[in-house]
Amino acid sequence: MRAIKKLFKYLFAFGVVAALLGAAGGFVAYQHFSKDLPEVGTLRDIKFQTPLRIYSKDEKLIAEYGENKRTPVSYEQIPTNFVHALLAAEDSRFFEHNGIDIKGLARAAYQLASSGKIKSGGSTITMQLAKNFFLTRERTFDRKFREILLSLRIEQELSKEEIFALYVNKIFLGHRAYGIQAAANVYYGQDLSELSIAQLAMIAGLPKAPSANNPISNPKRALERRNWILKRMHTLSFIDDQQYEDARTEELSAYRHGADIEVDAQYIAEMVRSKLFSEYGESLYTDGYRVYTTVKSDLQTTANHALQQGLLAYTERHGYRGPEKSFSEAERQDEENLLKTLNKIGNVSDIEPAVVVSLQDKNIEVLRKTGDRVTINWEQLSWAREYKSANRQGAKLKKAADAFKLGDLVRIQLRTAEAKKTKKKAKDTATEAPQQVWHLTQVPSVQGGLISINPKDGAIVSLVGGFNFHHNKFNRVTQAIRQPGSNIKPFIYTAALANGYTPATLINDAPVVFHDDQLESNWRPENYSKKFYGPTRLREALFKSRNLVSIRILRQVGIRNTLSYLENFGFDKDKLPHNLSLSLGSADMTPLQVVQGYAILANGGYRVSPHFIERIEDSEGNLIYQAKPVTVCEDCQFIDPEQPPVVTLPGQQITSLPLAERKVDKQSSYLIYNMMQDVIKRGTARRALVLKRNDLAGKTGTTNDQKDAWFSGFNRNLTTTVWVGFDQPATLGRREFGGTAALPIWIDYMRIALKDQPESAPVPPEGIVSVKIDPKTGLLATPGQSNALFEYFREDDAPTEMAAQSDKQQGGSETEDIF
Express each pLDDT in 425-449 by its tens digit: 545 555 566 789 999 999 999 999 9
Give the span between the Cα atoms of 647 and 638, in whole angstroms: 11
228 residue type, one letter: W
At 798 the pLDDT is: 95
Query: E strands along 652-806, which residues?
Result: 653-655, 661-662, 697-702, 708-714, 719-725, 768-773, 789-794
Orientation angle between helical segments 489-498 and 547-557, nearest 10 degrees: 40
Name, in order, each residue with C-beta under 8 angstroms of 655's C-beta and a sequence gap of 6 or more: 631, 633, 636, 637, 638, 639
Q: What angle do CA 515, 516, 519 make, to 5 degrees?
A: 115
Give the span between the Cα atoms of 807 and 775, in whole angstroms: 10
Reported CATH class of domain 70-248: mainly alpha
Query: E strands along 551-678, which residues?
Result: 606-607, 613-617, 623-626, 636-638, 653-655, 661-662
What is the H or E stretch that residue 493 is in? helix 489-498
Q: What is the largest CA-CA distance in the chain?
A: 152
Q: Does domain 485-609+663-753 have CATH number 3.40.710.10?
A: yes
Give the span between the Cα atoms of 555 and 244, in whole angstroms: 87
Burial (0-12, 13-18, 19+ Cβ within 10 Å), 252:
middle
Determine the straight-line distance between the first and last CA of the chain, rounded to whole angstroms. 124
Q: Look at the alpha carbons of 601, 606, 611, 612 in this order and tell me if their dihedral is positive or negative.
A: negative
- 160-183 burial, b if ≥16 CB within 10 A, otherwise e? bebbbbbbbbbbbbbbebbbbbbb
546 and 533 in contact (C-beta within 8 Å)?
yes
Q: What angle do CA 709, 711, 712 make, to 5 degrees?
A: 145
At 657 the pLDDT is: 86
- DSSP, collapsed to helix, strand or coil, labels residue 315 as helix
At 442 the pLDDT is: 98
pLDDT over 70 percentage in the chain: 84
Query: Any idea where the domains of the chain sit in the sequence?
Result: 70-248, 321-417+433-441, 485-609+663-753
Phi-psi label, residue 181: left if phi above 0, alpha if psi -120 to 50, beta otherwise: alpha
Residues of the chain with pLDDT under 50: 12, 16-35, 119, 426, 807-811, 818-819
Radius of gyration of the chain (CA): 37
Catalytic residue positions, numbered: 90, 486
Burial (0-12, 13-18, 19+ Cβ within 10 Å), 250:
middle
Orientation angle between helical segments 743-753 and 297-317, nearest 10 degrees: 150
Give the span between the Cα atoms of 715 and 606, in whole angstroms: 14
Torsion angle in degrees (nearest 10) through CA of 540, 745, 473, 457 = 60
Give the span between the Cα atoms of 704 and 803, in whole angstroms: 39
Query: E strands along 283-435, which residues?
Result: 290-293, 352-359, 364-367, 373-376, 387-389, 392-393, 409-416, 421-423, 429-431
Torsion angle in degrees (nearest 10) through CA of 588, 593, 599, 601 = -20
Q: Are 321-417+433-441 and 485-609+663-753 the same fold in CATH?
A: no
528 residue type, one letter: Y
Q: What predicted TM-score, i.e. pTM, was given to this entire model?
A: 0.87
Query: What is the CATH superfamily name and number for domain 321-417+433-441?
Result: Nucleic acid-binding proteins (2.40.50.140)
At 652 the pLDDT is: 63
